[in-house]
Amino acid sequence: MQQRRLGRTDLSVSAICLGTMTWGQQNTEDEAHQQMDRAVARGVNFLDTAELYPIPPKPETQGRTETYIGNWIRARGNRDRIIVASKVVGRTANAWFRDGYPSKLVRADIFDAVEKSLKRLRTDYIDLYQIHFPERQVPWGSNPSRVGNWPASRDADETPIAETIAVFDELVKAGKIRHFGLSNESSWGVMRFLFESEKGNGPRAVSLQNAYNLVNRSFEVNLAELSDRETVSLLAYSPLAQGYLTGKYDHGARPAGSRSQLFNRGQRYETPNAAEVQLEYNELARNFGIEPALFANAFVTNRPFVTSNIVGATSLEQLDMALSSAGVTWTDEMQKAVDAIHQRTGNPCP
């Protein structure tokens, strides 16, 4: 498994990162441990989780994923060989994160989040601690094709970025986290965090975790240049567009036990014209003699600005296919064929 440098840090992370958001909802703890064992055996050294997980978020399951990871790390005795990334939620009215009150990106809430994550993960430090989504009001993912009415409304009590990043500075100095990252951010948001860091107000963001896949290449519009020039690593999530790029949902199919069948959370990938475009990419993969899921993952893993592709699976068979994408030779012919579809269809699922 190829190792790639994380931002400007001295950490090298595997080209594929093991995503964990199904553990505790669709996957049992034993299944989670099997996935981690399999991934590590195939060269993965990078796990991504969040205080929010598992998905869909519920008070009765919140934090369960981190607990599974902590138990596995303790049982395997491999903390020094695993790079663990987790996240703190942004602004949310869901009160179960902070023991009965809404959460914001203020000192008390961030410290509460990190202490709980450290306890669940059974570790003294988190290698990469990320803001899961901005506190300010922005469309989910922060990089839509359209923003509707603009400017967006602003909360009167919006926490200044300078105040938020100063909290992460405390966490680094206290040894609770090693590095700071962002997620679901825009180019403006990333640059504001970098600006505050350059002013000496807090640690530099080393990474950005945003959605990136065949039907959502919005990262390329502005963020790819930012990533390159500022050395902010892209940790790409949703490479299979929540399963729509596996082919299992083609022609309206909804297999029993699939996320789309279990949960009503696929709206991002069920936009007008999305099904037709997803089918076109899936058929393209088959024309190359490659399973759609392998093709879609290989596209992400091999993009020059992707540091690590965050894959997720509910079975070892799915995981094996995702991990195999690191060994696929992505050709100019494949890229030209993908670009031809994108030129006509754009980003139907930003």
Average pLDDT score over residue span 286-304? 97
Q: How many structural domains compose the chain?
A: 1
Known catalytic membership, residue 101: no
In a domain, 227, yes or no: yes
Q: How many CB atoms lie within 10 A of CB 340?
A: 11
Average pLDDT score over residue span 280-294? 98
In a domain, 121, yes or no: yes
Whether the pLDDT of residue 317 is over 90: the answer is: yes
In a domain, 319, yes or no: yes
pLDDT at 66 (0 to 100): 98
CA distances from 306 to 213, 218, 265, 278, 347 (A): 11, 13, 26, 21, 18
Whether the pLDDT of residue 204 is over 70: the answer is: yes
Strand stretches in 139-227, DSSP E = 177-183, 205-211
Percent of the chain with pLDDT over 70: 98
Tens of pLDDT along 255-285? 777 777 677 766 889 888 999 999 999 999 9
- The CATH number of the domain holding residue 176 is 3.20.20.100
In a domain, 288, yes or no: no
Q: Which of 53, 237, 244, 249 is catalytic?
A: 53
Tens of pLDDT along 208-238? 999 999 999 999 989 999 999 999 999 999 9
- Structure-token pair, residue 194: 């970098």
Strand stretches in the chain, DSSP E = 3-5, 12-14, 16-19, 46-48, 83-88, 126-131, 177-183, 205-211, 233-237, 306-311
pLDDT at 253 (0 to 100): 78
Distance CA 8, CA 179 (A): 10
- Structure-token pair, residue 74: 């303790």
Strand stretches in 79-184, DSSP E = 83-88, 126-131, 177-183
Tens of pLDDT along 48-85? 999 999 999 999 999 999 999 999 999 999 999 999 99
Average pLDDT of the residues of the chain: 95
In a domain, 96, yes or no: yes
In a domain, 12, yes or no: yes
pLDDT at 265 (0 to 100): 67
How distant is the alpha carbon of residue 201 from its chain centre?
26
Tell me the residue range of the domain where 58 lies.
3-243+304-329
**Phi, psi at 13, each rounded to 5°:** -115, 150
Tens of pLDDT along 98-150? 999 999 999 999 999 999 999 999 999 999 999 999 999 888 888 887 777 77
Whether the pLDDT of residue 151 is over 90: the answer is: no
Terminal CA-CA length for the chain: 29
Distance CA 106, CA 158 (A): 10
pLDDT at 141 (0 to 100): 86
Whether the pLDDT of residue 87 is over 70: the answer is: yes
In a domain, 65, yes or no: yes
Distance CA 309, CA 326 (A): 9
The partner residues of 301 in beta bridges, in order of sequence, read: none
pLDDT at 263 (0 to 100): 73
- Structure-token pair, residue 55: 């998905």
Tens of pLDDT along 154-175? 899 999 999 999 999 999 999 9
In a domain, 219, yes or no: yes
